Amino acid sequence: MRRLLSMLLLLLSWQGSMAQADSSEILSTLLANQLEPLLDNLSAEGSFEFNTLGEEILTYLKRPLDLNRASSSDLYALGILDDIQISNLLRYREDHGNFISIYELQAIPSFDLRTIALLRHFTDVQSTIADMQLSPMQMATQGTNELYLRWTRFAQQKMGFKSQNGSDPAYLGDANQYYIRFRHHYAYKFSYGITMEKDPGEVLWSRTGRQGPAFMRAHLYLRDYSKRLQYLALGDFTVSLGQGLIMHSGYGRGKSALVTSIKKGGHTIKPYTSVNEFSFLRGAALGLRLGNFSLVIFASSKHEDANIIRDSLDGPDQDLPFSSLQSTGLHRTKNEIEDKESITRNIVGGKLGFKRDNFTMNANLVHARLNGTFAPQQNAYSQFYRPNSALTNVSLDYTYMFQNFHLFGEGAVSSNGGLALLNGLLIGLNRYADLAILYRRVDRSYQGLQSNAFLESTRAVNEEGLYLGTKITFSPHCWLNLYADVWKNPWLSFAADAPSEGREYFARLTYFIKRKVEAYAQFRNESKPRNYRSSHDQVNRIRVGSRKQLRLHISHKVSPSLELRNRIEFSYNNTSPNATSKGLLLYQDVIFRSMNSPISFTARVAYFDTDDFASRIYAYENDVLHSFSIPAYYHQGFRYYGNLRWKASRNLVLEFRWEESRFHHLDQISTGHEAILGRVRSRFKFQMRYGF
């Protein structure tokens, strides 16, 4: 009775229910804070190719996740909760029994109003356990079908499509980009589908087979079918093991505004439906539950692009020498087509897990073999990196929860003897403060071709570091996120010809009023060692350069249908002794979405002024569903875009996007084959989404 009265008070304090928001609006809100900080570490302008990131979240819009049955992997897959919130939710459910209402989340430490407002769209407390009684054939016929057709094209012609001095254009295909995807799914339990894409400059189809369709992927996936059968995947899928020291496919969490989200998790096997052509496996995977034990096995054989060393093509194909594997997935020129699928990578592996109460331990193994000779360019910093055509990685990972403490970690070894270690601790100090600690150490000789761990370096090699993150809640409307990360490279690195150290600090103060205002001020400072050589030096010197960023952001709900977002951001970079680089970004967003209108739109006008690419500023842009636009703003000029969405019927949605960048003082945009003569670069995008 006492708990019921408490729930009534919590329900009244919620101040009414929220209207069901548009799916694209929710997805944009979830992903912007996660992606923007990760992009600051990119070294070149590029696109984010995990285009179906958030697809599982949208599935939960139609079939909400049952909080009374959700596992830690299910909660992690939502992408809304940090690791401390997940631990607190599971502990609260264990102590107090099943949830009576979604609003009971307000009684759990570390759950703020903004998180609950988002979570409310995807979760419920009503069981859907009856779904498990359906056969695969029933799920194949009773689920939902989705068809996506997308066309994209730049308005201006790039140099790669032009004839040079009478020769043929470098790009063999036309300038259109096509994307076709069909997917059938029954909630999150069963899905099958096919994805095809042609990038600009690629040939759609040719008789040789070396060209087009440039990208074609298919999958069949079954999850949680019975108490014993946990996973079954055929075709294209991803595998995530431990904390990513030996394998973590696809997108993974790193340093971001979610300062306590440092632990990798989620489901071990997932279907692959994105267009990134590198981060997936092709073959079969099986997952079984055996009481307190679980077993996952997988096998993959996939052709991959590689930079072939053409001066050494005397041997047989199985000894084909290559300097590196390619991840761009582009096949536009003759050389790119020659490198297409030139190497075969075979992978077998598995995981044996044990779980009892709040303790979990897994033994992981991955063995990979390439059918060519891996001959990377040897430099001083990479002299301990001597990969063979075959590589084996073994690791142990663990998770243990005790009251407010959540420990996790992984230790790994590669077949050449290199070691890697990662350990973390999450602590719910009280209702107002959470703390995250992570220590990692990776030998200079460690090798992991599929690794994707919480590290400063892109590869898991030559790093030792300590991360501290905390979230302090002052009131239900105001909280502060902080992190500090310090690391060192005991051996030479790509950017520094000597052992070196680096550090990064981050702070974000957020103010939130439900359904009205969300505002934050954010500061980030990163210091990294870099090579420097003056005109009088014979060898490189090491200098610590810093990059500082200050952001002020406000989002204001003018009405239930109209939202305005404003941002001003400054960047400061001094990576060289005698030069500094500064940047400024200002933008205004207008978002209109009404429950009473089939038409919705978003638009932005942005002004940017940076000295060069070093002071670039990234900003998330709204786009058509399952397409991400996250450009780097640099040089000087304006950028604007508009997205128009029309829900023509219950099953048909049409989306159109137009974007344009106008640069000052430029006669050419970009370089090489991607160069555009002039100061204007614009692009059009059209997408049809049909569900039945």
> What single DSSP character describes residue 376?
P
Environment class of 12 (CB within 10 Å of its CB; exposed 0-12, middle 13-18, buried 19+): exposed
Residue 111: strand, helix, or coil? coil
Unique residue bearing structure tokens 């096919």 = 194
Environment class of 197 (CB within 10 Å of its CB; exposed 0-12, middle 13-18, buried 19+): buried
Find out whether the peptide bond into 213 is cis, omega within 30 degrees of 0: yes
What one-letter code names the amino acid at 237? F
Average pLDDT over residues 328-351: 88
Residues 6+ apart with CB under 8 A from 6: 107
Q: Quick check: 605 pLDDT over 70?
A: yes
Backbone angles phi, psi at 101, to 5 degrees: -150, 155
| CA dist., res. 237 & res. 268, Å (int) | 10
Q: What is the pLDDT of residues 23-37, one digit of tens each?
A: 555 666 666 656 665
Q: Which two tokens stand for residue 538?
A: 């014979």
Distances, alpha carbon 541 to alpha carbons 22, 93, 491, 500, in Å: 54, 57, 15, 12
Owning domain of residue 551: 2-691
Contact 220, 252 (CB under 8 A): no
What one-letter code names the amino acid at 310? R
Distances, alpha carbon 66 to alpha carbons 124, 512, 555, in Å: 5, 27, 31
| CA dist., res. 311 & res. 324, Å (int) | 15
What burial letters (b/e) apply to 19-35, b meaning 16+ CB within 10 Å? eebbbbebbbbbbbbbb
Q: Quick check: 46 pLDDT over 80?
A: no
What residues does 439 pair with on adjacent strands? 423, 466
Q: Which two tokens stand for residue 371?
A: 């059918």
Residues 6+ apart with CB under 8 A from 610: 571, 581, 582, 583, 584, 616, 617, 633, 634, 635, 636
pLDDT value at residue 8: 42
Q: What is the pLDDT of residues 77-121, one digit of tens each?
A: 777 787 788 888 888 888 888 888 887 888 888 787 778 877 887
pLDDT value at residue 107: 83
pLDDT value at residue 18: 38
pLDDT value at residue 249: 76
Largest Cα–Cα separation, the chain? 86
Distances, alpha carbon 649 to alpha carbons 602, 613, 654, 689, 691, in Å: 20, 44, 10, 11, 10
- Rounded to 10 deg, the angle between the 55-62 and 23-39 helix axes is 160
| CA dist., res. 261 & res. 483, Å (int) | 11
Residue 392's pLDDT band, with cuts at 50, 70 and 90, is: very high
Q: What is the pLDDT of residues 200-214, one digit of tens each?
A: 999 887 655 455 556
Give the DSSP H/E element, type plus range, for residue 538.
Answer: none
| CA dist., res. 555 & res. 564, Å (int) | 6
Contact 514, 113 (CB under 8 A): yes
- What's the N-to-C CA distance of the chain in angstroms? 45
Average pLDDT over residues 623-634: 83
Distances, alpha carbon 639 to alpha carbons 235, 589, 621, 645, in Å: 40, 12, 11, 20
Environment class of 456 (CB within 10 Å of its CB; exposed 0-12, middle 13-18, buried 19+): buried
Unique residue bearing structure tokens 């305005």 = 564
Contact 180, 170 (CB under 8 A): no
462 backbone φψ class: left, alpha, beta (φ>0; ψ -120 to 50): left
The more confident residue out of 515 and 52 is 515
600-606-607 Cα angle (round to 5) = 170
- Lowest-confidence range among 161-170, 303-312, 655-664? 303-312
How many structural domains compose the chain?
1
pLDDT value at residue 109: 81
What percentage of residues in the chain have a pLDDT greater than 70? 86
Q: What is the pLDDT of residues 495-534, one digit of tens each?
A: 888 888 999 999 999 998 877 899 999 999 999 888 877 7
Q: Quick check: 632 pLDDT over 60?
A: yes
Contact 593, 561 (CB under 8 A): yes
Distances, alpha carbon 260 to alpha carbons 143, 318, 435, 450, 467, in Å: 36, 46, 7, 24, 10
Q: What is the pLDDT of residues 546-587, one digit of tens each?
A: 899 999 999 999 998 999 999 999 999 987 666 789 999 999
Contact 178, 198 (CB under 8 A): yes
Average pLDDT over residues 331-360: 90
Environment class of 90 (CB within 10 Å of its CB; exposed 0-12, middle 13-18, buried 19+): middle
| CA dist., res. 501 & res. 487, Å (int) | 6
| 327-336, 370-379, 592-601: which is most confident | 592-601
Q: Quick check: 629 pLDDT over 90?
A: no
Backbone angles phi, psi at 204, to 5 degrees: -65, -40
The more confident residue out of 611 and 73 is 611
